[in-house]
Structure 1
């Protein structure tokens, strides 16, 4: 079984919080991680995927907890959010009676609106929320994962070079654990089943989805737009639903961990000239390939989607490197009305790291001329870079590097 980087932080949280909430898209490995903790830390375990368990939890939540006991792992908690009130009461009682009040419950579930609202209201101060992503490249290879930094140490880092064909094979396959636990599993069959489950089960329980065909069409169109700026009016026209519905559906996909919205960067001095719409990224490139009807990696590599899918891959991997280390991913993109664009901006410790993402291998300083748009920023500009398919890292200047995507 592939070891998950985030597991260390879940274990650390058992000594700090009464409740740990594991969230993320379906099939990213939440249940597998929870079951491994059951075996190591002597937790009781129950899944609300089981209809009888779910009925008992909803009908008599107090009896449900008494019957199963605790410390307890409750898988798929979104199916019975009423349990959160009972869990709150147990946590409060443990504190008052000065009994063990940490590591009492591990809850897993998708980021369903009702569940997350319940966690915020009932378990404020009692729970930590840890987001799980699909597998990272580092996890697949069994390499230690640290938050990605652009500096001289990273530029000099030794890495195993993957050809562009190897990279795009992986981008096309995607990063769900099941595809790596069962290497012979057809990715097309896997994503077909995933979509059937997601649309017919999960989404229908989140919103009253009367027009499933239009929603499916919406997801297909959105997948072809990964790595691009959202245009709500254009999406509304193409899918033939209102802009309000488009925003509602985007919120559902975002809350369910299917997409990630990267917000535009601005400071007061540049507010008038920058774009305001976010960019959309599917959190798994394999799912996006399936929805965009890119049947194999050769089709992807030869298509006009190649650059956007590579950008999606890079943004996802950098984001995972932060989330998997339980750190905030404070990131943006820049685009102004003169078409100057910076693909990714990381804000950390009042300093900016500027990142351009390219499919090629050889670049000049003129390829990052957009970096100059932030020369008067209120923040200091740290070392910045172009991430690309180069076989060897090299500097363009003292503070701007060209680096392989393999160093992430």
Structure 2
């Protein structure tokens, strides 16, 4: 069963207008499935190449000859980061063919990394990001509790049981560490696994490179390099502080989040929502879910957090169409704001504040502050972006 993705039409529109469309995002998030679905009815015919398949790699032994012979097709190359030397050839071919819809390239390295390899494609390539499933994309029979424990990766959230989901998540982590990461230099799988598990325990907190380095027995720079690597492969997300000019002492270290709640649960050894609900990480995992949906729905919007040395804080601050929006995440059906939240709201002066909860209902809390569901938050922000 194919599940429609929110930006599927946007990606198809890019294919129709650009010579090269890059679809980027973490491994196993559905890029290949979506690309094959979009290519099913493509009028000129298609060719799909997976660079992790030996037979497809063999076809590219003489890449110029082979790809030149496929001129009239839409060519999809999966896991393009494994063969970055193809980019100059792709540039030459699209310039020769002079038409849109020449190539779709799929990659699980970040846009920044791919851009370093594809500089020669400037003006010829457009980047579109795909994430694990957003809450709005999932079938309605999937509960928010299941989304908590399993995350959004298709093979996890759609698994037939919690046991299979948990096994897949652990297999994904092992494969990522023991195979996918081997293409990067100066990398030790055992150290990365320990760091990743430590980050799961401090999920949603400001990063302390010194503390992490001391615990791992490595330098602060090594920790930073490893976190940058996790970020560049979409396994963690970093949120910068919102800096205002009010003269208060602000927390200036970034916050770090594991990018998917299912990965958090596997790293912490949590198998069920019941175990999750009593865990100290519960509130931060709700922040992870909200952040993942913000990133996936509004990829161009900058997201910050606000925290002062005196304890005033707001989870996320976003600027949309020149409006400052404050977002506080509360993993409760009966949310209340703390004194620190109210001080932060007064400091920031947002046009509106949303308190997002796992409930399916929304209601006004006070003037300028609304309690909203995750779906309600996305709907309200979508209205603001359309203004």
Partners of 1:17 and 1:126 within 8 A in 2:
yes
Query: Is residue 263 of structure 1 aligned with residue 240 of structure 2?
Result: yes
What is the aligned counterpart of 2:291 among 305, 310, 315? 315
Per-residue deviation at 1:105? Answer: 0.4
Spell out, residue by residue over 1:91-124, the C-alpha distance to the aligned partner (whole angstroms, 9 max, x if none).
22233xxxxx1111000011167543112x1211
Partners of 1:134 and 1:176 within 8 A in 2:
yes
Q: Closer, same or farther in 2 for the Cα pair 1:74/1:306, shift >3 Å?
A: same
Give the structure-2-normalised TM-score: 0.89
What is the aligned counterpart of 2:180 among 191, 197, 202? 202
Per-residue deviation at 1:13? Answer: 0.7
Partners in 2 of 1:35 and 1:405 — Cα distance? 30
Structure 2 counterparts to residues 377-396 of structure 1, below 5 A? 381-390=350-359, 392-396=361-365
Spell out, residue by residue over 1:66-107, the C-alpha distance to the aligned partner (whole angstroms, 9 max, x if none).
354432111111111111111101122233xxxxx1111000
Per-residue deviation at 1:344? Answer: 0.6
Structure 2 counterparts to residues 164-179 of structure 1, below 5 A? 166-179=143-156
Give the structure-1-normalised TM-score: 0.84
Partners in 2 of 1:55 and 1:247 — Cα distance? 37
Query: Is residue 297 of structure 1 aligned with residue 298 of structure 2?
Result: no
Per-residue deviation at 1:364? Answer: 5.8
Which deviates further from its counterpart, 333-342 or 260-269?
A: 260-269
Supply the RMSD in Å over aligned alpha carbons.
Answer: 2.2
Per-residue deviation at 1:47? Answer: 1.2
2:105 corresponds to: 107
1:29 corresponds to: 30
Partners in 1 of 2:256 and 2:144 — Cα distance? 21
Per-residue deviation at 1:10? Answer: 0.6
Partners in 1 of 2:100 and 2:360 — Cα distance? 48
2:384 corresponds to: none
Paired residue secondary structure (2:126) = strand
Partners in 2 of 1:60 and 1:389 — Cα distance? 53
Structure 2: runs of 5+ lacking an equivalent:
378-387
Partners in 2 of 1:220 and 1:43 — Cα distance? 42
Structure 2 counterparts to residues 212-223 of structure 1, below 5 A? 212-223=189-200
Which deviates further from its counterpart, 242-251 or 86-95?
A: 86-95
Query: Is residue 61 of structure 1 aligned with residue 63 of structure 2?
Result: yes
Per-residue deviation at 1:405? Answer: 3.3
Partners in 1 of 2:237 and 2:133 — Cα distance? 16
Q: Closer, same or farther in 2 for the Cα pair 1:213/1:285, shift >3 Å?
A: same
Partners in 2 of 1:44 and 1:141 — Cα distance? 31
What is the aligned counterpart of 1:357 among 311, 321, 329? 329
Structure 2 counterparts to residues 1-16 of structure 1, below 5 A? 1-16=2-17
Per-residue deviation at 1:187? Answer: 1.4
Q: How many residues align?
A: 369
Spell out, residue by residue over 1:345-396, the C-alpha distance to the aligned partner (whole angstroms, 9 max, x if none).
1111221001111123143685533201123xxxxx3221211245643223
Per-residue deviation at 1:406? Answer: 4.6
Per-residue deviation at 1:205? Answer: 0.7
1:286 corresponds to: 262
2:206 corresponds to: 229
Query: Is residue 330 of structure 1 aligned with residue 302 of structure 2?
Result: yes
Q: Closer, same or farther in 2 for the Cα pair 1:364/1:294, shift >3 Å?
A: closer
Partners of 1:133 and 1:320 within 8 A in 2:
yes
Partners of 1:168 and 1:301 within 8 A in 2:
no
Paired residue secondary structure (1:277) = coil
Paired residue secondary structure (2:109) = coil
Spell out, residue by residue over 1:170-212, the C-alpha distance to the aligned partner (whole angstroms, 9 max, x if none).
2111111123444347112101211121111111112332x32
Partners in 2 of 1:395 and 1:383 — Cα distance? 11
Paired residue secondary structure (1:203) = helix
